[in-house]
Amino acid sequence: MSPQRRSGLGTNQEAIRRHNLGTVLRHVHGAGQTSRAELTSLMGLNRSTIAGLVSELESLGIAEHATPLEGSRQGAGRPSARVRIAREGPYVIAVDLGVDRAVVARVGLGGHVIQRAQAPVLRDGEAWQVGAAVATLIRTVIEGAPSAAPLVGIGISVPGLVRRSDGLIRLAPNLEWHDVSFGGIVLAALGLDVPVSLANDADLGALAEHTRGAGVGVDELIYVSGNVGVGAGVISGGHRLEGVGGYAGEVGHLRFNPDGRPCHCGNLGCWETEVGAFAIAEAIQCPPDKVAQLDEVLDEFDRPSTALRATGTSLGQGLASIVNMFNPQVVVLGGYFRSLYRLVGADVDAGLADRALPAPLESVRLELPGLGSDSPLHGAAEIALEPLFVDPVAALGTALVDVRARLAG
Amino acid sequence: MSPQRRSGLGTNQEAIRRHNLGTVLRHVHGAGQTSRAELTSLMGLNRSTIAGLVSELESLGIAEHATPLEGSRQGAGRPSARVRIAREGPYVIAVDLGVDRAVVARVGLGGHVIQRAQAPVLRDGEAWQVGAAVATLIRTVIEGAPSAAPLVGIGISVPGLVRRSDGLIRLAPNLEWHDVSFGGIVLAALGLDVPVSLANDADLGALAEHTRGAGVGVDELIYVSGNVGVGAGVISGGHRLEGVGGYAGEVGHLRFNPDGRPCHCGNLGCWETEVGAFAIAEAIQCPPDKVAQLDEVLDEFDRPSTALRATGTSLGQGLASIVNMFNPQVVVLGGYFRSLYRLVGADVDAGLADRALPAPLESVRLELPGLGSDSPLHGAAEIALEPLFVDPVAALGTALVDVRARLAG
DNA sequence: CGCTCCTGTCCACCCGCACAACAAATCAGT
DNA sequence: ACTGATTTGTTGTGCGGGTGGACAGGAGCG
């Protein structure tokens, strides 16, 4: 039973098959490698049913069977056949658009980054220039793909507000973009027509950490991203919190200090003016041209200054508001907050404990990203893969095979 | 496709039937009255399937068929038979525990309040005393129930933090309760054993407004409740946002003015210290013993004072943080905010527009509760009814019949 | 070398929904 | 008032999909 998050629809058995097939694939994807027996117990279905589903995945070229592991013994009984992702199976292109560089990766099911490439992005570059650069990187990583493997889609992580209905980039302050249809630009530059999904970098960080990072199995998770601006991605009930337009999680403009500095949003003392990259850069006297690499600058510190510790306290106090609002189980600190937390973790913890309500405080823990700085990239891969888990057959139907030849032509 | 919000499970056709039966009932409940043709188009199932589901509901005693309406013509073709809630069908008890009074209602499917009773609650009363009073009210409203009608459960709205795993009231500041198992107390006073669900009043307000109030069809909705303290209930993606413990939505302690007044939570200048009942009472020089009836006091004003207008601005500015965080489509102002918004709506709107980001602001609208002050009561009924929509057969299995006789015994 | 335990495969079976054909009920036009 | 078009209720048949049992395969244990 799963669900139509969209409400009110009935279910027929065709939908069952779709859902079960997708769920099997989701499990294989999540674990990278499983056994049919494990799938049976995880999904609560009959052995025969699982066998049928797995064999369908194999005939679709998505999964492969493998001989049981030699070494590991897991008790008596016939060892269960392994199920793993097919070697030449479907893949996606993940793009992490940063403020100073773009990372592009070819990612297979199971979250394997098969190949990656990156290039600097000019500050205040035009969107079409960036799109062309990204398209070149995409061509590079597709180069190595087996021609039989289908390309399912492209996922793009954007440091800004993305409208969920059509993927339009409404506002990316640090790229100075307004209302840019970046997905269309990249597709045009490539000359391809595949599904493109765009989303906010913090949302994708949350998704990735939930799937294969520090928050596996945690259905109430928040990823707070320090990435010049400050944003958050929220997973609640195991699903992304999006809001009507897709703009949910804009925590950077929480009211923090009404007497504080002016924020580019027009208000005074938003949280971002205290813990944003420019605020931190000022606190550590970092030159403005290195703000985009603030994490590396911070990593060179070994002892925090007083100003930096105050920033840590502000981070914790702001997190308290977030914890009070969402009551999460895990808060993952991404972007340069990762480096910051390593330096002034105690102050962050103290600030949080000082301002959060007892009830939500007792069940929350702060964590560093399990995927390092690659969380948004992995999240971009996840949204591009998502159609496969909803309906594998349909997703493969819209996928492109022999992409290299199409790119050449 | 439907649902398991809990992830990873497979679906079999037994689950299909459960889900479809529950979904049919949910539609009948939502509309109060429908036709089979409408159900067919809403659920996307075949006519014959709908017929089977409806007849099963009828044989369960939940639904009745009725002759098509005489007057209304809806085009050519055979008129579709009406489906409505059975007259002696299942019902629930809804309890709205306020800080100064308790309201108890017998509510049938369709959200019909069949009978209601209320009584004042002593301030700083012991939990068992309140429980006994509530039990008496429950006996009163059950008195009039047909003995054939099954009691499905009891839903209780609580002005405080409720742990979702077991319904324990962790903290109800205005009742001065800590860790009270109020559900158990009421059941013991009744001598019954039926399912009891407890939840926060704002969460239930959101649920009710989503189901049959100002937010029907709106899947991104927030109910902000002014009820001595300030809290919010969030519906996102059509589901309640709960958080791990069930404490999500504690917006009263958002940082608002760090130089402000001390809050009972230990911090300075929480939003609640600016727009909470005590702050407003002070602004309008309302005597402290009437704070619990602040809405009535406010209703007697016809022109807002300057202080009240400032409060309205603060309300709007705080809502801006909420709008930025959740990007809702509708924000419903419940509790005494209802009265306040009638007086100083323009200031609230201005405060919101001033502080919210453009993107979330353009898609949000403020509304008054469609259910007046009964939102939490209706929400309490909804959570008690919820099991019926998940699995009608199972829910009727645990329901109590002939409750009057059991109460007497 | 048994025995036991677990898993894969194959089969018949059941359950639930779809579909087609027919009947019923209403509206529109003549 | 009659006729055709339209829409819905009813019924029987068919199909898809998961279940469950019987049997075989493979491993550990004594």
Domain chopping of chain A, boundaries: 13-85, 91-203+374-408, 215-369
The CA–C1' separation of A110 and C12, in angstroms, is 37
Q: How many CB pairs under 8 A join A and B?
A: 217
Show contacts of A183-189: CB within 8 Å, 24+ apart: A183/A154, A183/A156, A185/A127, A185/A128, A185/A131, A186/A95, A186/A131, A186/A134, A186/A135, A186/A138, A186/A154, A186/A156, A187/A154, A188/A131, A189/A128, A189/A131, A189/A132, A189/A134, A189/A135
- Fold classification of B91-203+374-408 is Nucleotidyltransferase; domain 5 (3.30.420)
Share of chain A above pLDDT 90, in %: 82
Q: Backbone dihedral region of B61: left (phi > 0), alpha (psi from -120 to 50 degrees) or beta?
A: left
Architecture of domain B216-369: 2-Layer Sandwich (3.30)
A78 touches strand D (CB under 7 A): yes
Indicate yes or no: CB of B220 within 8 angstroms of CB of A243. Answer: yes
pLDDT band at A165 (very low <50, low <70, confident <90, very high): very high
Examine the pLDDT at A161 and tell me if it is beyond 80: yes
**Alpha carbon separation from B4 to A202, B44, B214 (Å, rounded):** 25, 19, 27
pLDDT band at A5 (very low <50, low <70, confident <90, very high): very low
Q: For A215-369, which CATH superfamily applies?
A: ATPase, nucleotide binding domain (3.30.420.40)
Q: Do B13-68+79-85 and B216-369 agree at the fold level? A: no
pLDDT band at A7 (very low <50, low <70, confident <90, very high): low
CA distance B73 to B70: 8
* Neighboring chain A residues of B255 at a CB cutoff of 8 Å: 254-256, 317-318, 320-321, 355
Examine the pLDDT at A221 and tell me if it is beyond 80: yes
Q: What is the pLDDT of residue A75?
A: 74
Indicate yes or no: CB of A243 within 8 angstroms of CB of B219. Answer: no
pLDDT band at A78 (very low <50, low <70, confident <90, very high): confident
Q: How far does A1 lie from chain B, in Å, by closest CA?
A: 5
Surface-to-core class of residue A324, CB atoms within 10 Å of its CB (0-12 exposed, 13-18 middle, 19+ buried): buried
User: What average pLDDT is seen over chain A?
Assistant: 93
pLDDT band at A69 (very low <50, low <70, confident <90, very high): low
The full length of chain A comes to: 409
Q: What is the pLDDT of residue B72?
A: 61
Regions of chain B with pLDDT less than 70: 1-7, 69-74, 409
Examine the pLDDT at A88 and tell me if it is beyond 70: yes
Examine the pLDDT at A124 and tell me if it is beyond 80: no
Judge: domain A13-85, CATH 1.10.10.10: yes
The CA–C1' separation of A87 and D14, in angstroms, is 40
Interval A370-389: pLDDT, tens: 999 999 999 999 999 999 99
CA distance A196 to A308: 40
Indicate yes or no: CB of B10 within 8 angstroms of CB of A265. Answer: no
Examine the pLDDT at A409 and tell me if it is beyond 70: no
Q: How far does B117 lie from chain A, in Å, by closest CA?
A: 33
The order of strands in the sheet holding B151-158 is B113-120, B101-108, B91-97, B151-158, B196-200
Rounded to 10 degrees, the C-alpha dihedral B18/B19/B21/B26 comes to 140
Indicate yes or no: CB of B5 within 8 angstroms of CB of A3. Answer: yes
Indicate yes or no: CB of B360 within 8 angstroms of CB of A250. Answer: yes
Which of B5, B8, B9 is opposite residue A237, by nearest beta carbon? B5
Examine the pLDDT at A35 and tell me if it is beyond 70: yes
Three-class DSSP category at B329: coil
Residue B260 tokens, joined: 């402000």
B36 touches strand D (CB under 7 A): yes
Backbone angles phi, psi at B306, to 5 degrees: -60, -40
Residue nearest to nucleotide C10 (CA to C1'): A48
Q: How far does A75 lie from chain B, in Å, by closest CA?
A: 25
Q: How far does B110 lie from chain A, in Å, by closest CA?
A: 16
Which of B171, B321, B363 is opposite residue A245, by nearest beta carbon? B363
B80 touches strand D (CB under 7 A): yes
CA distance B93 to B153: 7
Bases on strand C under 7 Å from any protein CB: 4-12, 15-20, 23-28
Interval A245-272: pLDDT, tens: 999 999 999 999 999 999 989 999 999 9
A35 touches strand D (CB under 7 A): no
CATH label, B13-68+79-85, candidates 3.60.20.10, 3.20.20.70, 1.10.10.10, 3.40.50.1010: 1.10.10.10
Indicate yes or no: CB of B5 within 8 angstroms of CB of A363. Answer: no
